[in-house]
Structure 1
Amino acid sequence: MILKKTSWTSKLTSSLAAGAAALMLFAGFASAHVTVNPTVAQTGAWQTYSIKIPSEKELPTTKVTLKVPQGVAFKQYQPLAGWKITTEKNDSNEVTSITWEVDGDNEGILAGQFQQFNFVAQNPDAETEVAWDAFQYYSDGSIVEWTGGPSDSNPHSITAISQDPAATGNAAAGGGHDSAGTAGNAGHDDDTATGDGTKANDDTTLGDALDDTVTGEPNNTNSDPGTLKLQQATLIVSILALIMSFLGIALATRRKKR
């Protein structure tokens, strides 16, 4: 009897541990995407963008390179203590990429943390979608390339450039558009739309964008529909794992009584 009890307890403990490990692994992958916000922006506007980088490994992220999409005119970046920021230009003196790299005693973006970098760029005049390819470097020399399509495991973030960003954002929130795991922003970014949901002034200036950059305020990075969807998916999996655990306990108890 003692041997049977020990065997039953061991099996139950192993099952629960395996389920918990799988759940934690899924939750880590579900929230680890590199994103650029806002996901909907005004045509021709000077826009404050934020790139949000979480660490998906048990290693620090020490460098991030972001490719500037064709048609987007990079203007300025926000300095950040502990990070060396450099840009690359083409033959036309246009910035094609921006890199943030640890500087001084900065260890980088540690496991369980995220970092946000802000910069200003001018959007294309015509409606389009721009893809932000990003490269995440870890302390062991490994690189994660966020350059895939929406269905890939490492998708790039996409911003919809629209003449009516408020309408585009609402359509995205309704499920009409979901790019790179971050659907269009249902909220109205200060640089693209007014508080009442009407289209923002087309004469948005560099000064307006820089005001936002200086304060370092994020562009709704914690409330975009893509993040909410990931949180909901994680919650559903957590509930299912809990149900499976209870079923496992009930089944083990029934077998023990036999």
Structure 2
Amino acid sequence: MSRLRNALAVTVMFLLATAVPASAHVTVHSDDAVQGGYGQLAFRVPTESDTAATTGLQVAFPADHRLAFVAVRPHAGWTYKVVKSAVRPPLVDDDGNQVAEAVSEIDWTATGPDSAIRPGEYDEFLVEAGPLPKVDRLEFRVVQTYSDGSVVRWIDPGQSEHPAPALSITAGSVTAPAVQPVAASAASPPWALGAATAAVLIAAGSVALAWRRTSRRARPTE
């Protein structure tokens, strides 16, 4: 029994040691990323080091799917630099204008130690981008810099020790128009309104006739 408990303890410790780093990868996600539309992209950056803080983040956009529009949301305590490169053939935005240069990289840098992402913490860096390509996923290459000078490159494809953050993009859908019963009634032919009015008048007359007969029967005999 003692050997069994020791074996179970070692197994649990191993599973915990391997599961924690896997959940601390740099990732990208979006709640409104739709193919052909615009969405807010959030790059989530945890600090895996026990002794150093995250002070820099470089995000390289996929070269095979450049985005015509990218806007950076300011992040308190951090500065950012947007790098653009030529696109051939040029992209076309929603207004039909050709876009010859598109964002290829965004670099965030902490302005001081108080702004850095300390051990055991995480932060998110937001951008608005689109139109998103008609693909299921986009992979971004990310470089994370620590206060001690060490660098972690999240650039490997697929399931690996340092996987590149991948954004899932859902296919666009067309929503069916809601049924408007009021509008349908307004479109009814004129004779329908006349028939309804006649039915109401007939019903009212029947009620009045029945009331008169009941009143006569209830009168006392003189």
TM-score range, shorter chain: 0.5 to 0.7
Moved more, 131-140 or 84-93: 84-93
Distance 2:24 2:146 in 1: 14
Alignment-mate amino acid for residue 103 of structure 1? T
Does the C-alpha gap of structure 1 residues 103 and 43 become closer, same or farther in structure 2, counting only changes over 3 Å? same
Distance 2:33 2:122 in 1: 24
Moved more, 35-44 or 108-117: 35-44
Q: What does residue range 153-192 of structure 1 map to in structure 2 within 5 Å?
A: 153-164=161-172
Q: Residue 58 of structure 2 aligns with which residue?
A: 65
Q: How much does 1:57 deviate?
A: 1.1
Q: How much does 1:148 deviate?
A: 1.1
Q: Residue 141 of structure 1 aligns with which residue?
A: 149
Q: Residue 83 of structure 1 aligns with which residue?
A: 78
Post-superposition Cα deviations, 1:62-118, rounded to whole Å, max 9, x if no partner, equal 101111123333421111111111111114432111111110453511111000111
Does the C-alpha gap of structure 1 residues 125 and 15 become closer, same or farther in structure 2, counting only changes over 3 Å? closer
Alignment partner of 1:29: what SS? Answer: helix
Is the 1:33–1:154 contact (alpha carbons within 8 Å) kept by the matching residues of 2? Answer: yes
Does the C-alpha gap of structure 1 residues 126 and 161 become closer, same or farther in structure 2, counting only changes over 3 Å? same
Alignment-mate amino acid for residue 111 of structure 1? P
| Match status 1:26 vs 2:26 | no
Does the C-alpha gap of structure 1 residues 110 and 74 become closer, same or farther in structure 2, counting only changes over 3 Å? farther
Unaligned runs of 5+ residues in structure 1 are 1-8, 165-197, 202-258
Distance 2:34 2:115 in 1: 36
Unaligned runs of 5+ residues in structure 2 are 87-99, 177-222
Q: Residue 150 of structure 1 aligns with which residue?
A: 158
Is the 1:82–1:105 contact (alpha carbons within 8 Å) kept by the matching residues of 2? Answer: no
Identity %: 27
Alignment-mate amino acid for residue 108 of structure 1? A
Cα RMSD of the aligned pairs, angstroms, is: 3.1
Q: Residue 135 of structure 2 aligns with which residue?
A: 127
Q: Give the TM-score, by structure 1 length.
A: 0.53
Alignment partner of 1:80: what SS? Answer: coil
Which structure features the higher share of strand residues?
A: 2
User: How many equivalent residue pairs?
Assistant: 159
Please, which of 91, 98, 103 is the counterpart of residue 106 of structure 2? 98
Distance 1:104 1:60 in 2: 11
Q: Residue 4 of structure 1 aligns with which residue?
A: none
Is the 1:44–1:125 contact (alpha carbons within 8 Å) kept by the matching residues of 2? Answer: yes
Distance 2:138 2:175 in 1: 20
Alignment-mate amino acid for residue 110 of structure 1? R
Q: How much does 1:56 deviate?
A: 1.1
Alignment-mate amino acid for residue 167 of structure 2? T
Is the 1:71–1:123 contact (alpha carbons within 8 Å) kept by the matching residues of 2? Answer: no
Is the 2:67–2:102 contact (alpha carbons within 8 Å) kept by the matching residues of 1? Answer: no
Does the C-alpha gap of structure 1 residues 40 and 76 become closer, same or farther in structure 2, counting only changes over 3 Å? closer
Distance 1:36 1:99 in 2: 15
Q: Residue 49 of structure 1 aligns with which residue?
A: 41
Does the C-alpha gap of structure 1 residues 162 and 28 become closer, same or farther in structure 2, counting only changes over 3 Å? closer
Does the C-alpha gap of structure 1 residues 114 and 74 become closer, same or farther in structure 2, counting only changes over 3 Å? farther
